[in-house]
Structure 1
Amino acid sequence: MTELNFQFDKTWSLQPIDGETGQTFMGMKDSQKVFIKRNTTPFLAALSREGIVPKLVWTKRLGDGNVLTAQEWLEGETLTPTEMSEFPAVIQLLHDIHHSRSLKNMLYRLGGEEMTAFAFLSQYSTDLPAELRHNPYLHRVFRYLEDHLPNDGDIQVCHGDPIHSNWFLSEEDRLYLVDWDATVLADPALDLGIILGRYVPYNQWRKWLEFYGYHVTEEVLERVYWYSGMDFLRRIKHYYEQFELQKMNREILLLQKIFNF
């Protein structure tokens, strides 16, 4: 069982699923097939009840302290970058998540982290590698974000990483938002900025945000723009620290499309 060392029920066969974390597996037992993840967020049960993620089947704590969760295995596809800007269900599901009182209450009970715009900026600048700190372009973006720190909107449940590969469309045309390990209590502009900055041309942001339900003002656009830039900087730092320079450069190119100075 290649490096799993789960001490798991031997009646199950676990097959690793490609991914950055190495924590996800396809579990098979007789004719049953489930999606298994190791040490995921305890918030998963609440998300399952709301129908935001595939149904939670069971949770098991192992003798070594690891916790496995199993969800129903669904056939389907992740959304493509193009579909992210064309799929109304993306906007609707995101709106429902951001406005769910039950999810917000549950995440607070589970000790969910609350993050402001200033906290994200401070997190990025802390222990920033010298090569990034002295990069003229990245420094200009950072100074812009520092000089235009927004007043945060209402704190709500945010996914924290709603990129296209975390949106799953089942064969029954049911849309799910998966992989909630980055979930945080923050301004919904965090999630909106990630999606709009990566997948939607800036001249379409207003229309997209109106469909989401905002009365779109310059202040709203500035907040979403700010969080978009902040997310790109955070990913650039992450990939640099992981020595994934090709991915880091891809993020810089995407950032330059909206912060073109």
Structure 2
Amino acid sequence: MMDRTQHQQEVQAFLQRHISNKAWDLTLPVGSGHETYFAQCGDQTYFVKIGVQIARYQALAAMGLTPQVLAAGRLADGESILVQAYVAGKNPSRREYRLHLTQFAAAIRQLHHNTALQKLLPQAPSDLYAAAGLEALSRLEQKWARWRAQVPQAAEFVDHSLGDLRQKIADFQGAGLVASHNDICNANWLVSTDGKVYLIDLESMSLDDPALDVGATLWWYYPPQLRESFLEEAGYPPDAAFQERMQVRMAMHCLHILLPREQSFDVFDPDDFTQSLADFRAVLAGEENPQGYED
């Protein structure tokens, strides 16, 4: 069984070598993700991540899109370690998404089109939206196959839906992959106490269709009347083709996040799975977020 505190003693030693040789208090953030810590020494607090792609964080920190990187290196087993400045703030509410619309859109635009960041990501075999979508769908189908037998009551619906999505993706036109975050929910944004927005958790990044990040942001957090303004700020057209790609990629994302991540501490609950498909069903049907757009 994986241990979420596996490297705790080495983290202590790394912090003492690179930040301060005093004693450190390490606490785990709430959640089920990879091994991470809040590290406190006196009145100073830092954030420590294990097993991440250091260069991505350094690139986004240089852009001002993620908190400053203070130290980075390798632990004895080869796992990476990254120490970031702690940002006093919180994950954004729906109201804060509306309040900071221009900042969120500008951050996505800056992220997507940073050429230095694009070079750090694994190169895609094709720049076509259809090819990227089909590759992502194949990964999703493989992930679904690992859990399908535990939820027979939903299997036929999900299988049929994935087949429909495959047909739609095959009809995608155009090309232009970007540096996509790929998990751009409110849990992966921070709004600081002075109103600055930061992206965190960059492990899912890849070169992909911009419709994934933009579609998730719009469908989850922005009512229809604000979407054209967001698209204009983010630099994307409000045309039918982009709308179709956003819907399809968002549907895939809704299923993807219900299935446990590899090498994580996620738990799969078959009893809740059918009910948890509400977002997946809504996106497929062309409906709005069932939770609405108010806090």
- TM-score (structure 2 length as normaliser): 0.76
Which secondary structure state, in structure 2, belongs to the residue aligned with residue 154 of structure 1?
coil
Matches of 2:271 and 2:62, distance apart in 1:
38
Which amino acid is 1:141 matched to? S
Aligned counterpart, 2:9: 6
- Shift of the 54–248 alpha-carbon distance from structure 1 to 2, 3 Å rule, reads farther
Residue 13 of structure 1 aligns to which amino acid in structure 2?
D
Cα offset, 1:249, TM superposition: 4.6
**Partner in structure 1 of residue 201 of structure 2:** 179
Q: Structure 2 vs 1, CA of residues 85 and 171 (structure 1 numbering), >3 Å: closer, same or farther?
A: closer
**8 A Cα contact 1:132 1:237, kept in partner:** no
Which residue of 2 is the match for residue 124 of structure 1?
A: 140
**Structure 1 residue 248: Cα displacement:** 4.1
Total equivalences in the alignment: 257
Residue 294 of structure 2 is aligned to residue 257 of structure 1? no
- Counterparts in 2 of 1:75-114, with a 5 A limit? 75-88=88-101, 89-105=103-119, 107-108=120-121, 111=122
1:116-159 superposed Cα distances (whole Å, 9 cap, x missing partner): 10101111122612446963432342122111112353111011
Instruction: Compare 31-40 and 10-19 and name the one that shifted more.
Output: 10-19
Contact 2:105-2:234 within 8 A present in 1 as well? yes
Q: Contact 1:12–1:27 at 8 Å: present in 2 too? A: yes
CA distance in 1, matches of 2:222, 2:272: 20
User: Residue 240 of structure 2 corresponds to which residue in structure 1?
Assistant: 218
Unaligned runs of 5+ in 1: none
Counterpart CA distance in 2 for 1:19 and 1:216 is 35
SS, match of residue 19 in structure 1: coil
Letter in 2 for 1:214: Y
Distance 1:113 1:82 in 2: 36
TM-aligned CA distance change 1:216 to 1:245, over 3 Å: same
Q: 1:247 to 1:84 in 2, by over 3 A?
A: farther
Q: How far apart, CA to CA, are the structure 2 residues paired with 1:204 and 1:141? A: 29
Cα deviation, 1:193-230, whole Å, max 9, x if unaligned, reads 22223233457544532342223221111111111111
Further displaced range: 249-258 or 189-198: 249-258
- Higher mean displacement: 34-43 or 158-167: 34-43
Q: Which runs of 5+ in 2 are unaligned?
A: 17-22, 126-130, 287-295
CA distance in 2, matches of 1:52, 1:154: 22
Compute the RMSD of aligned alpha carbons: 2.8
Report percent identity of matched pairs: 21
Distance 2:274 2:153 in 1: 15
Give, as a single letter, the amino acid of the residue that structure 2 aligns with 1:242.
V
